[in-house]
Amino acid sequence: MEITAGLVLAIMGAAVSMGVAAISSGIGVGLAGIAGAGVISEDPKKFGPVLVLQALPQTQGIYGFLGAVLILIGVGVLGGAAKEIPLGMGYAALGGGIVIGLSSITAIAQGAIAASGMGAVAKRPETFGQAIVLAVMAETFAIFGLLIAILIFVGTKIMGA
């Protein structure tokens, strides 16, 4: 496989996508986990709801992973056929990676919401569903970020037939 400048830029895009999303999800899940440990120290039976709430900020990490994989498959680093990657396409892939990475920062806020949600569930177990909805609201813009990235990839022929 020929290492062109375009290919390097595309790989950097994949790196940004996964790397920033990993940091954000990690912090978010960490915030939630800190609260979760407090909840189960009072009542170990609440581990189920606590675990579900802690898992919610993880989705941004998955979007980052997906974005990185789409780029890598699209430019032929992974599995797909090796292509000639022009410089422009490299920049486009970098842009897509950046938008996913940046929009994944919402995971930090989502982690904070999930942490508070655990406090709500600890006091009143019937608010579990509502706590989940509150946390999930923060994910809206991460999803839009993924969407824009996908549109970029499709538009610049990184993805699609």
Interface residue list for another protein (CB under 8 A)? 52, 55-56, 58-59, 62-63, 65-66, 69-70, 73, 78-79, 128-130, 132-133, 136-137, 139-140, 143-144, 146-147, 150-151, 154, 159-161
Which CB atom, from 8 or from 69, has the smaller least distance to another protein? 69
Shortest separation between residue 129's beta carbon and another protein, angstroms: 3
Cβ within 8 Å of residue 111, ≥6 positions away: 27, 28, 29, 30, 31, 32, 57
The CA distance from 76 to 160, in Å, is 13
Shortest separation between residue 143's beta carbon and another protein, angstroms: 5
Which CB atom, from 56 or from 87, has the smaller least distance to another protein? 56
Tell the residue number behind the tokens 């998955």, with chain if given.
Answer: 62
* Helix residue spans in the chain (DSSP H): 5-42, 47-55, 59-74, 87-103, 106-123, 128-137, 140-155
Which CB atom, from 65 or from 91, has the smaller least distance to another protein? 65
Shortest separation between residue 96's beta carbon and another protein, angstroms: 13
Which CB atom, from 102 or from 132, has the smaller least distance to another protein? 132
- Burial (0-12, 13-18, 19+ Cβ within 10 Å), 79: exposed
Shortest separation between residue 62's beta carbon and another protein, angstroms: 6
Shortest separation between residue 88's beta carbon and another protein, angstroms: 20
Which CB atom, from 84 or from 130, has the smaller least distance to another protein? 130
Tell the residue number behind the tokens 């897509």, with chain if given.
Answer: 96
Q: Angle CA(105)–CA(156)–CA(21) in degrees, nearest 5? A: 15
